[in-house]
Structure 1
């Protein structure tokens, strides 16, 4: 399988950066085009007045997104991989799946927090939703705890 276009969704977490490292290595090996996105999650703010709190939170989240995407851009540059970045707004899983379709990507590489139990039931998992709804393969990268004895 050749992956011509790879999408890296990020949420600025360490596991999403680990996923980006995997995606960029695949992209380098296959000479793939890479897209990275950060989704400003509007769900917590639905129903709030658009001015005031939402506007200030949106600015903070967009800044977080710019920083997260800059880290991935720097990683891509180090590896000689071209990348296009974009900040999206909406429900993360839906925006990621829709973006992947629009760009006709062949592979989505993203981190997963490994939520279980009540957290998973209440919050759901963006990675799980993306993997179920995506039109292409999804590579989920989990955080690996370092064993202190090694």
Structure 2
């Protein structure tokens, strides 16, 4: 499975849970812990002073995470870079041939407003590798049960194949949630693809809005895996739910984030 995993590190205490969770899913992978210093409004006269302080905080966090992984005998590398987070992240991912990017997101809901941070949004639109979004409510489980929402598109089929690989690797059960018509035809195709991996799977059907159906089934799973769609320019506005850039369904799913969410790119 994924052999090189890039984790964007910030200075929050939850990062220990993020690293431990990622390691639990992929204990054989090398984890690349990257802290990006974004000076932003601090650029200017006091740039050097601010940079030193921010770098010191970043190194302190990375040292704490290194100790955690050393105790687990995990493989890892750490680095501190400066720049705009997503640009640095994607450039680093390409340079290191990263298989998966992990991001602890601060998306959420406020009154009549869906909040998706600029880092999360830009990463989802531009990443050429799978992205795993995590919130603060992370629970490590053996053989995590997978919820796989699918629209039956060719990009969703790519995700179904990846779901099969992951379910086989984790020895997990899969619940495929069929979102679109023709539901029976899509369901049969999903069964066909998953049979190649000899995993236990069930099929359920969306019986109301897509987001409500996903949220209704999420409590019975441990991780949600679907397709973000193609990152190529002509398809940049596609995702698994509707052919628009981060349509309301995907925005709500990221905002609620009831479970870890793994989005597969082509």
User: TM class, shorter-chain normalised?
Assistant: 0.7 to 0.9
Following TM superposition, by how much is the alpha carbon of 1:113 offset from its aligned partner in structure 2, in angstroms?
Answer: 1.5
- In structure 1, what is the equivalent of residue 37 of structure 2? 40
Task: Determine if the alignment matches structure 1 residue 6 to structure 2 residue 5.
Answer: yes
| Number of equivalent positions | 136
- CA positional deviation for 1:115: 4.3
Structure 2's unaligned 5+ residue stretches are 139-266
Correspondence for 1:57 among 47, 50, 54: 50
Equivalent residue for 1:96, pick from 84, 89, 93: 89
Q: RMSD of the TM alignment (CA)?
A: 2.1
After the TM superposition, which residues 1-150 of structure 1 pair with which residues of structure 2 at under 5 Å, given as runs? Answer: 2-28=1-27, 31-46=28-43, 48-49=44-45, 53-116=46-109, 120=115, 124-144=117-137
Q: Which whole-Å CA distance do the structure 2 matches of 1:18 and 1:126 have between them?
A: 20
Higher relative contact order (CA 8 A, sep 6+): 1
User: Which of the pair is proportionally richer in helix?
Assistant: 1
Question: Shift of residue 130 of structure 1?
Answer: 1.8
* Bigger Cα Rg: 2
Q: 1:65 to 1:119 in 2, by over 3 A?
A: farther
The two structures have a TM-score, normalised by structure 1, of 0.80
Q: Do the aligned partners of residues 115 and 95 (structure 1) sit closer, same or farther apart at CA in structure 2, a change above 3 Å counting?
A: farther
> TM-score by structure 2 length?
0.47
